[in-house]
Amino acid sequence: QQGSMREVGLEDIATQLAYANKVVFVPGYGLATAQAQHAVRELADVLEKRGVTVKYGIHPVAGRMPGHMNVLLAEANVPYSSLYELEQINPEFSTTDVSVVIGANDVVNPDARDNPSSPIAGMPILEVDRSKSVVVLKRGQGKGFSGLENPLFFKPVTGMLYGDAKDTLTRLVQAVQHA
C-alpha cells in the first residue's frame, strides 16, 4: 500500500466544515452500528444554519441490507430531498469542499475503479476521492465487509478522524457551534 494514513484533529475538521460551501456525508455500515443517524442530522442542522450546503451520498449497497441508510436517516428526519443516489452525487464531488465518510469503507474503495485485478473491480463506488478534502470517521484499522485494504485512506486528500462515529459527530456539532 502506497502512502501513509494521516490523522487529523477534530478542531481542524470542524473549522473546515464550518467554512465550507458544500459538504457531502457518505454513510455506511458503521453509521448503523454506532446508531449515529441522529448525530449526523444534528451536524447537518448546524452547518445548514451557517449557510453550508449539505447533501448525503447514498450507495445502493451501503450497510447490510437494501435501503439500510435510507431507513436510518428517515428515522432521524433527514429530509428525503437531501439524499442523493450514486449517479446523482458522483458528478458533484469535484465541487465538494469536504466529503465526510461515516463508517463506510467498501462503497468508497477506489480500487473498484482503478485496479482491474481487485476482487471488487467494476463495482460502482461513491467517488469521494474527487473532492477537495475527505475525512473518514471510523474507530481504527477495521476492514469493511469485503475484508479488502482501502487505498482511499492512504491518499493525500484524506484525513482520518478516529473514534466511534456517534461520539465523533456529537463532538463535531459542539466544535462547529464554537467555530
- Alpha carbon distance, N-terminus to C-terminus of the chain: 36
User: Which region among 39-47, 70-78, 97-105, 153-161 touches ligand NAP (by CB under 6 A)?
Assistant: 97-105
Within 10 angstroms of residue 77's Cβ, the number of other Cβ atoms is 9
User: Which region among 46-54, 76-84, 86-94, 101-109 touches ligand NAP (by CB under 6 A)?
Assistant: 101-109
Per CB under 6 A, does 107 bind ligand NAP?
A: yes
Cβ-proximal residues to 24 (8 Å cutoff; 6+ apart), any chain: 54, 55, 56, 57, 89, 92, 93, 96, 98, 99, 100, 128, 131
Of 48 and 67, which CB lies nearer to ligand NAP in the complex structure?
A: 67
| Cα 12 to Cα 65: distance, rounded to the nearest angstrom | 34
Among 65, 87, 122, 147, which residue interacts with ligand NAP (rule: CB under 6 A)?
Answer: 65
> Annotated catalytic, 106?
yes
Of 55 and 68, which CB lies nearer to ligand NAP in the complex structure?
A: 68
How many residues at the interface with ligand NAP, by CB under 6 A?
29
Among residues 45, 97, 106, 164, the one annotated as catalytic is: 106
CB-based burial, 113-150: b 16+ in 10 Å, e otherwise: beeeebebeebebbbbbbbbbbbbbbeeeeebebebbb
Considering only residues 18 to 57 of the shown chain, the ones binding ligand NAP according to CB under 6 A are 28-30, 33-34
Per CB under 6 A, does 64 bind ligand NAP?
A: yes
| Cα 175 to Cα 161: distance, rounded to the nearest angstrom | 14
Of 49 and 60, which CB lies nearer to ligand NAP in the complex structure?
A: 60
Positions in the binding site for ligand NAP (CB under 6 A): 28-30, 33-34, 61-66, 68, 103-107, 137-146, 164-165
